[in-house]
Structure 1
């Protein structure tokens, strides 16, 4: 009689072992998978069908239940949800790859030499355009003017943007094209010069005076540049970017390119808002496809700290100015009121403590019933001690860029003084208030590699390992939180956490395989980690 249960057991086991395997498109196995689900659980394998995760578990379980067209042996490597860049500028990065790259230049003389080298290689260019200079790196830290540019380039317009894209220097030929022969009063901007004669320096809104005269690339050229940029982004594990502020013309181009299947990376695009265009965009409503979404507006409250355009409560520590807002508080409130009366998300660039306070308070006026609006402050760079709790009180998402801290640390104290530095780049405190951070790079202001941001967030040092013990380490965040900030929390900041941001059944199969585990290796090794494979919707788009 005892043999009967054994026979039944063996019969059931035979039925199970002989049950047909479910056909899927992809199986990934032999991996260390960080699912970044609510329990931050680990797995060994998963199955993908029709671009989505359909099962996650052990190697034995997945390979027993499923049969795949394609199988990937991860060879024990770490796998993460596809990385987000929660604040980026796709077109600016694409254009810079076709322009003079001035990043890392150690003097204005070096800047001019790079422009000369570029002109020699590109003799057909009718304008010489570049970006990336930073006078804070130079021995002479004063802003450049047109004088040396005029000597080197008397016959061709030259326009060179600062690393933060909130200031530029133009030569006389470029000013001539813009018909800028005197110094006008510009709200939210500065035209440099003396005796009503421009010296070529343009800050924030003043940049538009020359920008609007620069020839625009053709659709064909834009596509070429964007696809090249996409390849670079995919090569570092980025599967989704948040495009922080685009004109109607650029939004229309992206709609066309995505509709034609020309671009693969996912893009959550923000409309560049101003008092004139908001009503028309709201009337059009959301735009949403599988790869491209338009659901929010981007406002600019102030400029940047490096060019002293950030709006501060008290004057700069190293200059008799408070900076400035780019529009009046009344205009910001009028725009934000329109967002509150619509379904669109509000996302506002705010660097200085005054700009942050003004926007936080206006947000708060319209978020008293919140309703899961997920409005964001972009950068949240300098916060007054009395304003931190407003992120929690009004449920406002801090969208921050950790490499800004490690780039600015060399001179930020000169701008702010010691006391205000306590509320600057305070990512851990912002995390404690809101409970989440959306992490990005602000590329091309910083490098687009998300691992650099991860490294800066947890180690608070730059690529040289400076400073030895980290910059304001009280605001370093944990590796787990940094990973969440570039996956599930970034997805949450775009209302995408139910379909992306973690490796869970039913979500889009976006994931990245790295050569080393960034949650375990020493800080010193982080920036050298290479992406092995980047996958969007189950399709490998980059493989080393």
Structure 2
């Protein structure tokens, strides 16, 4: 009896002396936490309060120190910082979801079948679609408008190639756009057959068609953004770098974020247009909790698949064809000077070796007195080996690993055995720059970041081809790949102090996966699923457990 009384007294004294517990919002426990901090530490639990990581530690210690509104038991699953897609098109994904899906078509006949089925269901006044790739067809030549004219003589049709750098359109669309055999436009091409437009438009002339496509309403824009967000959250993405937006769409993103309809964070690159430059460069950097506007998306050239990428020497599979600069070299330099003077970041699409060196030289000159500009070369796809020396933490490569595994079947045919040595060279760029930002370029590629991770480390497609990997010497390690999708991507956005790792004081954006991508068999990575996605410590996707 005395022993029992003594024990009760000790317990009461201990409880009375124990510090009062702090109220917190969430405890994440029983987790395998990859913090991605400077020393790549692991943890088992962490506490969230007011949308930020409050403390990282062990479950028993944290449970003694805090009271929690909610607890999330990871049950041993791997937890990572919220994934950042460093180059994608959130809004375009939403638009794509409203139009004809042509991804994966294996022939032009299949393209036409999908368009017919879509129009029978939707009855659109202007038929839009995206995703065809003639390189995936038995006949790898560009299609013509003949079949579209037969099927849709009175309804305009514009079907965008998967990379977004070519249209196949019918005669009605050409008529509305005012395009004839006489139409010339620097930075692109109206392809002719028998001295008449074939229906293929490459790069710049596409703008004539874009100008006559019915304008989206505010409700249409909202629907597109929310549909795209749902896809991204289900795949563990918490921040999207949207590469090229108008003022109208940026304003709608801001509105939806402020009323909590749009939880995903957006690093918005403004499209390079006179209106956008005049408005935003004078306005200065815009930063809210979820929206960051401080960069300009510029196009130096077109795409390799449509032979619009600007090359120093003729294409290996098309004599006397060099592609084209969308933004002439002289304009690149003046644009770079203007953007640098405004304190904005310049992020330039560059595919061909000629476009890449033009961009790199313009960057170097504009940034000669700036040490922390963090300008990005988007894609950096075909680079002359000597030009890799331009890359640094001030001129950052922003690449998309699935481009390598999508293009590998035909890329060498385009550029030849010598130039391919400077293509999709992610490890080389990382070694030179000390940093690399990774994205997908969706909807050009699939949204799934697990495919990004797999393509970066394995250099294989989803059928595990080629067996030894495509130019495997340019593969990234798993740790490098994870950093490229988290802390390095955050750094490229000037956001490394607030996101990109699970550390005290940073935003509580994190993702729980059903398997550990850092340890499982390499070929299993594409099949990993997201168990839960959190933004600001709130579950935005996943189980209710």
Cα contact 1:275–1:331 (8 A) shared by 2 = no
> In the alignment, what sits opposite 1:5?
none
Counterparts of 1:264 and 1:53 in 2: how far apart (Å)?
A: 18
Alignment of 1:117-516 (within 5 A): 117-123=117-123, 125-194=124-193, 196-274=195-273, 277-320=276-319, 321-392=321-392, 395-516=394-515
Aligned length: 534
CA distance change for structure 1 residues 464 and 12 in 2, over 3 Å: closer, same or farther? same
Give the C-alpha shift of residue 303 in structure 1.
0.4
Counterparts of 1:57 and 1:106 in 2: how far apart (Å)?
A: 52
CA distance change for structure 1 residues 317 and 475 in 2, over 3 Å: closer, same or farther? same
> In the alignment, what sits opposite 1:4?
none
Cα contact 1:237–1:533 (8 A) shared by 2 = yes
> In the alignment, what sits opposite 2:3?
none
Cα contact 1:500–1:507 (8 A) shared by 2 = yes
Cα contact 2:47–2:56 (8 A) shared by 1 = yes
**Bigger mean CA deviation after superposition, 412-421 or 144-153:** 144-153
CA distance change for structure 1 residues 540 and 411 in 2, over 3 Å: closer, same or farther? same
**Bigger mean CA deviation after superposition, 506-515 or 339-348:** 339-348
SS state at 1:264 partner: coil
Q: Does 1:524 align with 2:516?
A: no
Give the C-alpha shift of residue 276 in structure 1.
6.0
Cα contact 2:371–2:394 (8 A) shared by 1 = no
Counterparts of 2:14 and 2:397 in 1: how far apart (Å)?
A: 55
Give me the CA root mean square deviation.
Answer: 1.7
Counterparts of 1:541 and 1:339 in 2: how far apart (Å)?
A: 36
Cα contact 1:85–1:440 (8 A) shared by 2 = yes
Give the C-alpha shift of residue 280 in structure 1.
3.4
Counterparts of 1:244 and 1:514 in 2: how far apart (Å)?
A: 27
> In the alignment, what sits opposite 1:102?
102
Q: Deviations over 1:315-348 (max 9, x none)?
A: 1000121111012211111110011212111111
Cα contact 2:221–2:249 (8 A) shared by 1 = no
TM-score (norm 2): 0.95
Q: Does 1:45 align with 2:45?
A: yes
Give the C-alpha shift of residue 115 in structure 1.
0.5
Give the C-alpha shift of residue 279 in structure 1.
3.5
Cα contact 1:183–1:198 (8 A) shared by 2 = no
Give the C-alpha shift of residue 198 in structure 1.
1.3
Counterparts of 1:276 and 1:212 in 2: how far apart (Å)?
A: 15
CA distance change for structure 1 residues 17 and 451 in 2, over 3 Å: closer, same or farther? farther
TM-score (norm 1): 0.96
Give the C-alpha shift of residue 261 in structure 1.
2.8
SS state at 1:182 partner: coil
Counterparts of 1:73 and 1:260 in 2: how far apart (Å)?
A: 29
SS state at 2:205 partner: helix
Give the C-alpha shift of residue 181 in structure 1.
3.0
Q: Does 1:80 align with 2:80?
A: yes
Q: Deviations over 1:210-243 (max 9, x none)?
A: 1110112211122122111101100000000001
Show structure 1 runs of 5+ residues with no match: 1-9
Counterparts of 2:311 and 2:438 in 1: how far apart (Å)?
A: 24
Give the C-alpha shift of residue 150 in structure 1.
0.9
Cα contact 1:26–1:71 (8 A) shared by 2 = yes
Give the C-alpha shift of residue 12 in structure 1.
13
Cα contact 1:126–1:157 (8 A) shared by 2 = yes
Q: Deviations over 1:229-284 (max 9, x none)?
A: 10110000000000101122222322332233321100000111145642432111
> In the alignment, what sits opposite 2:115?
115
Cα contact 1:275–1:335 (8 A) shared by 2 = no
CA distance change for structure 1 residues 84 and 12 in 2, over 3 Å: closer, same or farther? farther
